[in-house]
């Protein structure tokens, strides 16, 4: 199994190209099920999760072609996928394909909207109620679907097609908003989603669906209106840049010091996180190429942050901020309000010598002068990269194990960091 070896102490200087957003690419690929024409997606990142969605779509009978390099392409440019769902030959998404990734459950929406039936495994053996698969099911039932759960599968039927409805989410859910949005595009009549998620990835998916002939207004606000259409057609769409990758590298620069241009990044996608970085002592300068992050000389200041749905501070950057705060002057506090059990990285950061105390959903981090390199283990996608950030400044050698989590969400992480002066390498086997 691959590992990443880091020798800490180097500042980061140079340019890091920001890849396409994983959290937009996955639902955009799934949206291809809604039309029998070809959907072309540009700037799709090369990630394990993207490859898994390709396998899932292939199982439904979709043809997916990845275009080769073109003159002038640079090495980190995302791939172009041509996805054709001309003939959907299977409306079942089996457990062995869905179990590894929660987002794969979303195929239930376009299958139900276009084929009027779907049989999709519950993701990862997920019990209804723990994470909001229950809200996804509620949204589909509001649109007129008949759903039963049998043997770990959700069996959905809508013999006469879906019908527009009012869907009021009791809490903000990105997954629920994606599912309701896709399902409603082909429903008869008008659907109004209230308390919708406002994340930029929702806007990106809605923009693409509108290019395909959907009639969606209000994406990016808490109220989205979808007027159903009879059919969707093919389109071409470029995936927006990854705000979580942007924030991760920005925190790595704040941690190590240096001067890095994050090319292709869009500041409006993560303003709350950039504001926190400025408060912590980094200099953030948006420019025509993206965002420039610098920290020269000044120490890291302690900050207090609570995660929140967009436009608040993203839960997906919480672990990275915690790594940054381990060497801050004074005590900082991070409150996780979105997901339970999202502090698994704390015990691994402690292996570097970090002083972190947990009290319910709040972590108190007492900054220390220096971290020490250590062997550590990645526990989940976002937590993994917090260990890399800590390793970049830790004295001596850090070995990050179980890095398959990193490959799910960060494209060529070690290559991008080493190009800016980090001493980091992947060790295979």
Between β-strands 304-306 and 283-287, what pairing exists: parallel, antiparallel or unpaired? unpaired
Could you tell me which of 341, 370, 366 has the C-alpha nearest to residue 356?
366
Structure tokens at 368: 């220390």
Structure tokens at 164: 């527009």
Rounded CA-CA distance 111/104 in Å is: 12
Annotated ligand binding at 133? The verdict is yes
- Say whether 126 is catalytic: yes
Instruction: Give CA separation, 218 vs 87, 192, 210, 314, in Å.
Output: 32, 10, 12, 21
Could you tell me which of 260, 248, 300, 301 has the C-alpha nearest to residue 284?
260
Structure tokens at 124: 């990862």
Rounded CA-CA distance 163/184 in Å is: 8
Annotated ligand binding at 134? The verdict is yes
Distance, C-alpha 348 to centroid of its chain: 22
Rounded CA-CA distance 335/351 in Å is: 21
Structure tokens at 165: 């409805």
Could you tell me which of 224, 212, 129, 218 has the C-alpha nearest to residue 179?
224
Rounded CA-CA distance 354/400 in Å is: 16
What is the SS3 assignment for 264? Answer: coil
Annotated ligand binding at 17? The verdict is no
Burial of 16 (0-12, 13-18, 19+ CB in 10 A): buried
Annotated ligand binding at 222? The verdict is no
Annotated ligand binding at 316? The verdict is yes
Rounded CA-CA distance 311/328 in Å is: 25
Annotated ligand binding at 407? The verdict is no
Where do we find the tokens 């190009």?
Answer: 419
Catalytic residue among 126, 198, 208, 420: 126
Annotated ligand binding at 351? The verdict is no
Could you tell me which of 397, 404, 413, 390 has the C-alpha nearest to residue 251?
390
Q: What is the DSSP string of 380-392?
A: SHHHHHHHHHHHH
Annotated ligand binding at 346? The verdict is no
Annotated ligand binding at 23? The verdict is yes
Annotated ligand binding at 305? The verdict is no
Rounded CA-CA distance 59/279 in Å is: 48
Structure tokens at 38: 């070809």
Rounded CA-CA distance 136/284 in Å is: 38
Rounded CA-CA distance 378/403 in Å is: 6
Q: Determine how many CB atoms are found less than 10 A away from the CB of residue 65.
A: 12
Annotated binding-site members for UDP-N-acetyl-alpha-D-glucosamine: 102, 131-135, 316, 338
Q: Tell me which residues are annotated as active site.
A: 126
Annotated binding-site members for phosphoenolpyruvate: 22-23
């Amino acid at each position: 199994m691959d590992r990443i070896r880091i020798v800490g102490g180097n500042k980061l200087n140079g340019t890091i190209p920001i890849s396409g957003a994983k959290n937009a690419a996955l639902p955009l690929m799934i949206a291809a099920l809604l039309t029998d024409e070809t959907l072309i997606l540009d700037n799709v990142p090369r990630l394990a999760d993207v490859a898994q969605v390709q396998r899932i779509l292939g199982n439904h009978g979709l043809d997916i072609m990845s275009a080769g390099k073109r003159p002038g392409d640079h090495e980190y440019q995302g791939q172009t996928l041509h996805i054709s769902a001309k003939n959907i030959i299977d409306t079942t998404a089996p457990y062995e394909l869905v179990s590894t990734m929660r987002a794969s459950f979303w195929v239930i929406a376009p299958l139900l909207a276009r084929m009027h039936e779907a049989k999709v495994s519950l993701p990862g053996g997920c019990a209804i109620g723990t994470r909001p698969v229950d809200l996804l099911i509620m949204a589909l039932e509001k649109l007129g679907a008949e759903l039963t759960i049998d043997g770990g599968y959700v069996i959905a039927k809508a013999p006469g097609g879906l019908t527009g409805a009012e869907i009021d989410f009791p809490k903000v859910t990105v997954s629920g908003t994606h599912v309701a949005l896709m399902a409603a595009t082909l429903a008869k009549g008008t659907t109004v989603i209230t308390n919708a998620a406002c994340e930029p990835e929702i806007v990106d998916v809605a923009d693409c669906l509108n290019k395909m002939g959907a009639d969606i207004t209000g994406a990016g606000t808490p109220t989205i209106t979808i007027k159903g259409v009879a059919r969707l057609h093919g389109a071409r769409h470029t995936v927006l840049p990854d705000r979580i990758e942007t924030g991760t590298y920005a925190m790595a620069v704040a941690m190590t010091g240096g001067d890095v241009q994050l090319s292709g990044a869009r500041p409006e996608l993560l303003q709350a996180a950039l504001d926190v970085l400025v408060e912590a002592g980094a200099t953030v300068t948006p420019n025509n190429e993206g965002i420039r992050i610098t920290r020269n000389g000044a120490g890291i200041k302690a900050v207090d942050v609570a995660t929140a749905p967009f436009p608040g501070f993203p839960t997906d950057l919480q672990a990275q901020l915690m790594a940054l705060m381990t060497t801050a002057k004074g005590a900082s506090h991070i409150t996780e309000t979105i997901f339970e059990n999202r502090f698994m990285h704390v015990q691994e950061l402690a292996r570097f010598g970090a002083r972190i105390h947990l009290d319910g959903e709040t972590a108190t981090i007492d900054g220390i002068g220096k971290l020490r390199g250590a062997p550590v283990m990645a526990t989940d996608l976002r937590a993994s990269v917090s260990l890399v950030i800590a390793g970049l400044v830790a004295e001596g050698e850090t070995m990050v194990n179980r890095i398959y989590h990193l490959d799910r969400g960060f494209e060529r992480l070690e290559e991008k960091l080493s190009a800016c002066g980090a001493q980091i390498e992947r060790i295979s086997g």
